[in-house]
Structure 1
Amino acid sequence: MTRDEFDTHCATLRHATNVVQWGGCSVWKIGGKIFALCAPETKDGNHPKISFKCSDMVYEILRDEPGIIPAPHLARAKWVQLTEPDAMSDEDLKEHLDVAYEIIVGKLTRKIRAELGLSDGSNRI
């Protein structure tokens, strides 16, 4: 998945916001909390590296898959990073991004979820 495809998919999630920070990373948040990020391609042509929040069980499974590692600086919070472009199909990645979003929505206070209109279970634009 390219960075543009990553951004396009994340933009379909209700009230998700995007900022570019940390040396050009595309950082996606809901209610001010990060659920996914995409580091830019490097000058030597390395593909963008996508990281996202996982459930505890999925983290245990994915971290041992080829082309996937515990995300630097975020592993303790159960994040993984795709280090190879073919580590996961685009469809699987989209599903994981959706789940990452849902995990973070679930961590928001009821008040913030209500303010964002996210208490109805419909999180697509």
Structure 2
Amino acid sequence: MTPAQLEKAALALPGAEVSIKWGADRCYTVGGKMFAATDPSGGHFSMKMTDIAYEALTQTGRAQPAPYAARFKWVMFENLSALDEAEVKAWLKTAHGLVAEKLTRKQRAELGL
């Protein structure tokens, strides 16, 4: 998956936005809360996962616990271009949903969720 494909897929989700944080990292948010992020080159890619997906991906070595965010069940992939586009899109949808469900009712209504 390319960084452009990632951005297109992330921004296609309801209420999703992109912002630049920590110098140049592209962070994908819903209601101001991050659900995915990538470095400027699009090499490293991190995102929120379900508990089960987090365990499966980190235990099999497909991903590693994300620095500073592993306790929140975030994983980091070393190479975005090596990931399957359909799989990443499914993960993005899940990550977006996990974060969106924690927003207040008012925030979800404002975002059309």
TM-score, scaled to structure 2: 0.91
> Which residue is 1:90 aligned to?
85
Aligned-residue offset at 1:64: 2.2
Whole-Å separation in 1 of the counterparts to 2:62 and 2:112? 36
Paired AA for residue 21 in structure 1: K
Aligned length: 112
- CA displacement 1:57-86 (0-9 Å, x = unmatched): 111111123341011111010000111342
Q: Is the contact made by 1:50 and 1:81 (CA closer than 8 Å) also made in structure 2?
A: yes
CA distance in 1, matches of 2:71, 2:58: 12
For 1:1-125, what aligned pairs fall within 5 Å after superposition?
A: 1-41=1-41, 48-84=43-79, 85-86=81-82, 88-118=83-113
Between the aligned residues of both structures, percent identity stands at 36
Which secondary structure state, in structure 2, belongs to the residue aligned with residue 107 of structure 1? Answer: coil
Rg larger in 1 or in 2?
1
Where does structure 2 lack aligned partners over 5 or more consecutive residues? Answer: none
Greater length-normalized contact order (CA 8 Å, ≥ 6 residues apart): 2
Question: What root-mean-square deviation, in Å, do the aligned CA atoms of Structure 1 and Structure 2 show?
Answer: 1.3
SS of residue in 2 equivalent to 1:57: helix
TM-score after normalising by structure 1: 0.83
| Alpha-carbon spacing, 1:58–1:67, altered in 2? closer, same or farther (3 Å) | closer
Deviation sequence 1:8-66 (CA, Å, 0-9, x none): 1111011111101112111010001000011122xxxxx51111001111111111233
Instruction: Give the structure with the larger helix fraction.
Output: 2
Q: Decide whether the 8 Å contact of 1:3 with 1:40 is kept in 2.
A: no
Kept in 2: contact 1:67–1:83 (CA 8 A): no
